[in-house]
Copies of this chain bind each other. A is one copy, B any other.
């Protein structure tokens, strides 16, 4: 999917919602446990109910990988079921030396046909560039995460006065461009998103941590939006586990619709 196409979807749906498919066999309703592929059946119903309000779906690969080969089959079926006009994100946080990253790119862009994959920056340019060689595919690079451990290295101050995450943004933004790279930017610190926006004004940000992880959507939009929205804000548990019984689909729909409504207001306030 191109940046233009993504922006058009955002305009059509008045939404920059990404639904995180962190689908856990222990958390899906009991009536689904009896079907042949409970993970896929759950995802299918979540997608049916939320596709009107979501511009992206983000399966968290660990949840599928933990189930062995069967999990990968559920993932493939889920990906095939995501409508083609909705952006798909493999939240895999891969990254290795060049030829190995090339194989991860093959896994997620050829064997599977994801639009994008999250990538870790520690190993530098050759761990990222193989993903950038695919047309209309995207790298979503970890820049500033919102977990506890983000304080360990991402904020370490360099001799040049910059924190490590800033060095990651400045260097990596030259490896690709706003048409094939996005950044993971955590939502727990609103003003930090503003600082990142100044460094990379054009790139899309994938923002985890709104909802269950505690960030404020209003702050994210205020500090992070650019003239083409430039945001995909993820919610996983808050949507997919909104209902615990046979109503899980309609409850997920309500939550997604609610977030879309808030996003519509923010788009009109900060973007158009």
Residues of A bordering B, CB below 8 Å: 22, 60, 62-63, 65-70, 72-73, 76, 91, 93-98, 100-101, 103-104, 106-107, 110-112, 120-128, 142, 145, 147-154, 156-159, 161, 164, 167-168, 171
Contacts and interface: CB of A to CB of B under 8 A. Distances in A.
Contacts of A147: 97-98, 123-124, 126-127
Given A123-B147, A151-B124, A107 B156 contact: no
A28 to B, nearest CB: 15
A100 B62 contact: yes
A94 B94 CA distance: 7
B142 A123 contact: yes
Given A69-B70, A124-B154, 14 more contacts: A65-B104, A66-B107, A68-B76, A69-B73, A93-B96, A121-B122, A121-B153, A122-B142, A123-B142, A123-B149, A123-B150, A124-B147, A153-B168, A158-B158
B112 A63 contact: no
* Nearest 8 A/B pairs, CB to CB: A124-B149, A124-B152, A62-B103, A97-B147, A69-B69, A125-B149, A66-B107, A65-B107
Contacts of A125: 148-149, 152
Contacts of A63: 100, 103
